[in-house]
């Protein structure tokens, strides 16, 4: 008795090497994930010089490599600013395509500036660097899955993808180089691990990748990515048939006994083997019947591979003490947020969505869950899972003990942030938005960037929160007029007046929040009885009078910052609030912030505040008077 997937799978895989698939050369530079360490080097110029030299070494090694798996490591260790790096390409890429992919990855890593660690994952390659030796584990986890479009033949395609990927997750760790590719019934798939990791780490990573990628099985293609491993499937060939491995040889009589033994746990002997195989098959097919389950057991042991979890309502109810008022953290336009403590002691934040229980609402809920679970970045609030079994729709996030940024600017903690912390928060926000706009596989526009939607972790790292208002930008459209959302004072004028929705809407809001951070003033306080001055109007007036220093928060210690540096950042903030066509994208903002200069030209005051002294509410009233959608829009605005 031998382990097997199914007779059809064995037969199909035995003849796969005879298939002829013509693939056009393609470096596959589609970006899947990018992350930075958030630790700045003390000597940026030296670190970047060493990093550039190390990346050059990586590409040189791959260019001269004679192996099938294109992989290289390089280092500059004899320096006060050491760099250790690795790069590897998918096993089906040509040498030239591999170098092209790594060149693209190196370019994308520039967003990390002089930070001492970075990770870029493209469809075709992975590049990683740190300031310390790379260990046999994932130190920059990005466990994530990315799904394509829905397929027409869901049932048949799902079954084929499930069987094929399960086989690859078992076989790839047993192959030298940790790479395996195969095809089965119109499904093409690969599984790969970083060549520097141990076999057990590779196995665990691919098991969790398989559990995560199952969330894509109704789609025509999907990917699961991590700092350690990579898994992908598609209904179209993306590799040549000569790169496929005969998976059947690992499960058929007489085929690679040592690998079979390793796959099923290293157990030898007839009776023990049969018992274990029966148990494995039972567990395997139970998992097939429950495609949405995650490998909780594996995840709890290897935290860096943690993926989204379906929580039980009863567990969340218990964790929040029945959603008691004492556990309530806050309330937003889309529901209440509660602090919860799980049985293992982990503290979480539970968002109880205020939504109708219609089919459309539930569909929107699951669409939002799918969206936020795919968006992973160090400057985005980490989504842990959801629950909808009780009829109530709950989202679970990591808990931020420091709360939201607005409390440190206008609340009880006012004046507690120094210049270094404020600048770090600004850069973190910019990076998070750049990821949503330019680095994620689709463009996500948040639409409600404000200080209360920026949370702070224990190290005061910015975490952009509240994706309840985020929406996908249509593939070839930017004009939306039927649905509006946002917060008065932060919304870009073109969105109010015309309903034009582009990523530049978030750029505008970012600029306003930066002005709040640097001035310690609310952009527009609707709670004041008297007409308050609009912060953006004040900032532009001071810019034109060459008196921007008057805007700086008086609670900042002048001995802790360079006046020139603060004025440069204020100017960048104003750059972000110009007319949409003149605003930078967020990737450009990151580069400006981490550089030494600001915009090298005169800025232009936006037309909607051309008249001095309008005040906060009058400024928005003037915008509304020319709007085609004024009444509908203003009725949907959240004014806080």
One-letter-per-residue 3-state SS of 132-189: CCCCCCCCCCCCEEEECCECCCHHHHHHHHHHHHHHHHHHHHHCCCCEEEEEECCEEE
| Same domain flag for 278 and 382 | no
Which of 365, 398, 431 is the last residue in one of the domains?
A: 398
Tokens of 376: 């992973």
CA–CA separation, 510 vs 524, rounded Å?
A: 15
Query: Is residue 639 situated within a structural domain?
Result: no
- What pLDDT, on a 0 to 100 scale, did the predictor assign at position 220? 87
**Residue 161 contacts residue 145 (beta carbons within 8 Å):** no
**Residue 417 contacts residue 469 (beta carbons within 8 Å):** no
Tell me the CA distances in angstroms from 247 to 11, 206, 252, 259, one per residue in order. 10, 16, 9, 11
| Same domain flag for 490 and 599 | yes
Query: Is residue 317 situated within a structural domain?
Result: yes
Query: Is residue 24 situated within a structural domain?
Result: no
Closest-CA residue to 110 (of 543, 609, 591)? 591
| Same domain flag for 419 and 392 | no
Query: Is residue 136 situated within a structural domain?
Result: no
Known catalytic residue: 158?
no
- What pLDDT, on a 0 to 100 scale, did the predictor assign at position 277? 40
- What pLDDT, on a 0 to 100 scale, did the predictor assign at position 622? 52
CATH of residue 579's domain is: 1.10.510.10
CA 444, 450, 453, 458 torsion-angle sign? positive
| Same domain flag for 587 and 463 | yes
Could you tell me which residues are annotated as the binding site for ATP?
352
**Residue 534 contacts residue 616 (beta carbons within 8 Å):** yes
**Residue 514 contacts residue 476 (beta carbons within 8 Å):** no
CA–CA separation, 170 vs 191, rounded Å?
A: 9
| Same domain flag for 168 and 294 | yes
- What pLDDT, on a 0 to 100 scale, did the predictor assign at position 367? 57
**123, 448, 466, 553: which is the annotated catalytic residue?**
448
Average pLDDT by consecutive 10-residue portion of the chain (640 residues)?
Answer: 39 35 63 82 90 93 78 90 93 91 91 88 93 61 67 73 91 91 92 89 86 82 89 92 81 48 38 41 40 28 40 90 91 80 91 65 60 77 79 85 92 92 95 85 83 92 75 39 63 84 93 96 63 80 94 94 94 94 91 74 77 54 48 45
Task: Tell me if the pTM is above 0.85.
Answer: no
pLDDT tens, residue by residue, 537-575: 999 999 999 999 999 999 999 999 999 999 999 999 999
Q: Partners of 146 in the beta sheet?
A: 223
| Same domain flag for 169 and 236 | yes
Tell me the CA distances in angstroms from 66 to 124, 173, 635, one per residue in order. 19, 22, 65
**HEC assignment per residue over 360-372:** HHHHHHHHHHHHH
| Same domain flag for 195 and 122 | no
Query: Is residue 458 situated within a structural domain?
Result: yes
Query: Is residue 363 situated within a structural domain?
Result: yes
- What pLDDT, on a 0 to 100 scale, did the predictor assign at position 441? 67
| Same domain flag for 84 and 41 | yes
CA–CA separation, 45 vs 50, rounded Å?
A: 9
Which of 288, 305, 322 is the last residue in one of the domains?
A: 305
| DSSP class of 639 | -
| Phi and psi, residue 308, nearest 5° | -60, 145
Query: Is residue 221 situated within a structural domain?
Result: yes
CATH of residue 110's domain is: 3.30.430.20
CA–CA separation, 263 vs 255, rounded Å?
A: 13
What is the extent of the structural domain holding 380? 309-398
**Residue 552 contacts residue 422 (beta carbons within 8 Å):** no
| Same domain flag for 336 and 264 | no
Query: Is residue 268 situated within a structural domain?
Result: yes
CATH of residue 376's domain is: 3.30.200.20
Which of 354, 373, 398 is the last residue in one of the domains?
A: 398
| Same domain flag for 244 and 366 | no
Strand order in the sheet with 328-332: 309-310, 383-387, 394-398, 347-353, 335-341, 328-332
The CA R_g of the chain, rounded to the nearest whole Å, is 26
Number of domains composing the chain: 4
Closest-CA residue to 522 (of 543, 545, 544, 538)? 538
| Same domain flag for 540 and 624 | yes
- What pLDDT, on a 0 to 100 scale, did the predictor assign at position 19? 34
| Same domain flag for 239 and 224 | yes
């Amino acid at each position: 008795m031998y382990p097997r997937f199914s007779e059809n799978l064995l037969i199909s895989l035995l003849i796969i090497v005879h298939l002829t698939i013509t693939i056009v050369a393609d470096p596959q530079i589609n970006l899947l994930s990018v992350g930075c360490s958030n630790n700045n080097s003390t000597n940026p110029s030296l670190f970047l010089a060493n990093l550039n030299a190390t990346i050059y070494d990586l590409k040189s090694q791959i260019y001269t490599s004679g192996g099938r798996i294109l992989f290289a490591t390089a280092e500059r260790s004899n320096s006060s600013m050491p760099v250790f790096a690795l790069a590897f390409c998918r096993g089906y890429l040509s040498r030239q395509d591999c170098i092209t992919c790594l060149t693209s990855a190196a370019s994308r890593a520039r967003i990390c500036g002089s930070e001492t660690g970075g990770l870029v994952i493209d469809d075709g390659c992975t590049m990683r660097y740190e300031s310390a030796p790379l260990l046999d584990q994932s130190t920059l986890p990005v466990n994530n899955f990315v799904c394509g479009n829905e397929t027409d033949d869901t049932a048949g395609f799902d079954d084929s993808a499930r069987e094929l990927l399960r086989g690859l997750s078992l076989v790839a760790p047993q192959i030298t180089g940790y790479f395996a590719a195969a095809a089965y019934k119109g499904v093409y798939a690969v599984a790969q691990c970083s060549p520097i990791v141990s076999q057990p780490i590779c196995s665990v990573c691919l098991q969790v990748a398989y559990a995560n990628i199952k969330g894509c099985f109704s789609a025509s293609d999907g990917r699961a990515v991590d700092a350690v491993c990579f898994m992908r499937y598609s209904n179209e060939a993306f590799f040549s048939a000569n790169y496929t491995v005969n998976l059947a040889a690992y499960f058929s009589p007489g085929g690679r006994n040592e690998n079979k033994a390793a796959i099923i746990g290293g157990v030898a002997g007839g009776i023990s083997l049969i018992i274990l195989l029966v148990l494995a098959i039972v567990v395997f097919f139970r998992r097939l019947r429950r495609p949405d389950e995650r490998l909780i057991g594996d995840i709890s042991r290897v935290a860096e591979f943690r993926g989204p979890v379906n929580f039980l309502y009863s567990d969340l109810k218990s964790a929040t003490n029945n959603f008691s008022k004492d556990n309530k953290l806050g309330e937003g336009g889309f529901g209440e947020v509660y602090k919860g403590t799980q049985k293992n002691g982990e503290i979480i934040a539970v968002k109880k969505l205020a939504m109708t229980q219609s089919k459309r609402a539930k569909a929107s809920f699951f669409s939002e869950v799918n969206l936020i679970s795919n968006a992973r970045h160090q400057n985005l609030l980490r989504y842990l899972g959801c629950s909808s079994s009780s009829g109530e729709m709950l989202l679970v996030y990591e808990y931020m003990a420091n709360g939201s940024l607005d409390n440190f600017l206008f609340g009880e903690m006012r004046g507690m942030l120094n210049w270094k912390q404020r600048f770090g928060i600004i850069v973190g926000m910019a990076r998070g938005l750049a990821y949503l706009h330019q680095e994620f596989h689709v463009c996500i526009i948040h639409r409600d960037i404000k200080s209360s939607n920026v949370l702070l972790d224990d190290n005061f790292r910015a975490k952009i929160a509240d994706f309840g208002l985020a929406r996908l930008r249509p593939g070839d459209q930017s004009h939306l007029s039927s649905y509006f959302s946002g917060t008065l004072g932060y919304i870009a004028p073109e969105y109010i007046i015309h309903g034009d929705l582009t990523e530049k809407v978030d750029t505008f809001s970012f600029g306003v929040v930066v002005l709040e951070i640097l001035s310690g003033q609310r952009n527009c306080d609707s709670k004041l009885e008297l007409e308050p001055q609009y912060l953006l109007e004040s900032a532009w007036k001071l810019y034109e009078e060459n008196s921007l220093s008057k805007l700086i928060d008086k609670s900042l210690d002048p001995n802790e910052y360079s006046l020139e540096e603060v004025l440069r950042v204020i100017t960048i903030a104003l750059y972000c609030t110009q007319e949409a066509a003149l605003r930078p994208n967020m990737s450009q903002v990151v580069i400006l912030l981490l550089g030494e200069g600001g915009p090298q030209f005169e800025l232009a005051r936006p037309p909607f505040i051309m008249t001095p002294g309008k005040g906060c509410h009058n400024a928005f009233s003037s915008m509304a008077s020319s709007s085609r959608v004024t009444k509908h829009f203003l009725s949907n605005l959240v004014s806080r």
